[in-house]
Each structure stands twice: as C-alpha cells, then as structure tokens.
Amino acid sequence: MAKNALIIGAGLAGTCLAHRLLSSGIEVQILDQGSNHSSAIAAGMVNPMVFRRMNKSWRLDEFLPEAQAFYRDIEQQLQTKFYHPIVIRRFFSSAEERDSWQQKASQEAYQNYLEKLSPADLENQAAINLFGSGRVRNAFWIDAANWVKEHLAYFAAQGNLLQKPFEAKAWDPAARKYDGITYDYVIFCMGYQQKEEPTFAYLPLQQTKGQTLLIESALLSDAESLNRKCFVLPYGKGRFRVGATYEWNNATLHHTPEAREILLQNLSALGSYEPVVMEQAAGVRPTVLDRRPLMGKHPDFDGVFVFNGLGTKGYMMAPTLARELAAFITMNTPLHPETNISRFTESKV
C-alpha cells in the first residue's frame, strides 16, 4: 500500500515538496488556511549573484539548473506560465564593485552568470550611471502570485487540498495522527507562521517583513531588470515591481508610508522615472540567522518533519531542497549538513 503524507502549508515549500513526494509514489494531503503572505507576495526573482559580496549565491551551480528544469516541468503539468527569463542589469555602486565584476567575469566559475563588461555596458544610460553597469546571465523570475493561486486550484481539483487551518487540538505528534487519520509522514511547511505552532517552535526562525511597490512608468524600459539599492522588475505594459524592504523581527502585514518613501527614494537613486504607484504589498519572509534553510526530522517524533527558512532566495532553492527532503523522508538519504535542523536540535520531551 502506498504511504501517505500530510503537508501543512501550501506556499512555495509545501507545493514543491508535494510535487516531489507525489513523484515518489506517496499519497499527499495538503492543509492550508489561505493566509499566504510570503510566496504569493514575493517578486519571485532568481538572481544567481549576491551583489553585496559580488559572489555566486550558495550552491548556485546545483540549484539554478534544477530550478529552471523544475519550473518548466510544472508549467507543463499545470498548463500555465510561471517562468520568465530576465536580464538583470546591475549599476555599480563603486569602482571596486566594477573591478570585482570585471575580474570575476573572466573566471570560468562565473562564465554562466556574469557577462564580460562591454563599452556599451559601461556607458549604459538606463539609469544614473556612476561606475558603469554589468549584465547577469541566467536570471529569471517566477510569477509568484500565480504560482500560489494555480497550485491551490490544481491540488483542490486533484483532491489533495483541504482549505482549513491546522488545529493543535486535533494533532497527536507521537502517533502522527491528525484529525483522526494516522499518516506515515507529517511535514510542517508553514513559513513565518511556524512560530505560532508548538511542534517546531523551538527552531530559531525569524520573521522578516518585506514591502514592494507596483508602479507604472513610461520612462522605464521593459527589456531588463535594473538593480542598485533596489530592484525594478518589468511586468510588461509599462508596469514594474520595485523592492524590497527588509524589516527585521516584524510579522505585521500592513503596508506603511515609511516603506513607500524608502522604495521611491531607492528608485530615484537609479533615475527619474516619474513613477505612478499602483499598489503596495507587504509580506513576511521566513529567515534564519545563518541564512540556511530549516529541514529535517523532529528530534522526538518519528515521521514528523519541517521544511522552512527559505529566506530571500526561496524560489531558487526550493526545487532542489524539496527533492532532497523527499529523499530524506522516504529513503533516509542524508540531507546536506548545512540545511539539517540537527544543527539546532535539542530533545524537547
């Protein structure tokens, strides 16, 4: 008989894991209360680089190709479009940054990600150009709001989704029993709201609020995503997402005039684009101080797992991490040591 799993949370973590478990022949039930304020709010950008240090993102060479293939497969499966390739143009903040780019772009390790600087890049006038600009290769964005919406519809149509809140009184972790049903595996994928549920509340999950603006501007080009101090992501038809703020230890969901001001100021450091703000969005990222995800088995309860802490690069990491967690759950294949919650584990009973 096929084994069964209960996934709590249908955000990016829960949906990616559901795909991976279903492909391993596990029967999956997903529970979601419809309070998604991260995966659906995200800009969904996948930027191979960490500009602050001008380094490749962690495990980039593994994550990026797998994410590109995964999102295209899921597009086929759900018969919709999420995946949009984009060129990111970084306007350098200093001569050091430009020199660092120049030097890295000639290294083999960066060939897939950094274009060598051409005279046209150095002179590009799409933004106020202080020290030149460079183009990132192999970047893309996922239509995050559509990802969540289409997955809720898809899993509901397949009979995999219960649209309800998780009830602590219906949960017996020692028996892996929820609402009268015993599951082989129960996986908590509750994003920043994990802190409110006792099972994995001991983990050092942080709640990092982020806000973005949706603007219209006739003076910005749709061709590239501009970046310095903020990102400007073209959505087509003269609309752009500008983001994002980082508001530490803040799990409130209202948008603020202060964040709007910061985002508009950051945008004006790129150029005078006469933006018209159409909408402001706020969400909360599930982050961890060591910038690594939270994955693994509960220290005291067999068959009880967590998938969280996807942070600011969730859309790049989730496809690979979900596959690794599914292999850990079903075949006990070891997790990457930097992702395993055993780094924080103490027995709770």
Binding site for ligand FAD (CB under 6 A): 8-14, 31-36, 38-39, 41-45, 165-166, 189-193, 210, 212, 243-244, 283-286, 308, 310-316
Least distance in angstroms from the C-beta of 225 to ligand FAD: 10
Closer to ligand FAD by Cβ: residue 220 or 294: 294
Cβ pair 121, 17 in contact under 8 A: no
Least distance in angstroms from the C-beta of 50 to ligand FAD: 13
Helices (H) and strands (E) in the chain, counts: 7, 19
Closer to ligand FAD by Cβ: residue 55 or 106: 55
Which residue, judged by CB position, is nearest to ligand FAD in the bound state? 11
Residues in the chain: 349
What is the number of other CB atoms lying within 10 angstroms of the CB of residue 276? 12
- Evaluated on CA atoms 320, 322, 326, 332, the torsion sign reads positive
Least distance in angstroms from the C-beta of 333 to ligand FAD: 22
Closer to ligand FAD by Cβ: residue 215 or 310: 310
Closer to ligand FAD by Cβ: residue 100 or 256: 256
Nearest-angstrom CA–CA distance, 193 and 172: 19
What is the number of other CB atoms lying within 10 angstroms of the CB of residue 79? 8
Least distance in angstroms from the C-beta of 348 to ligand FAD: 19
Closer to ligand FAD by Cβ: residue 316 or 335: 316
Least distance in angstroms from the C-beta of 138 to ligand FAD: 15
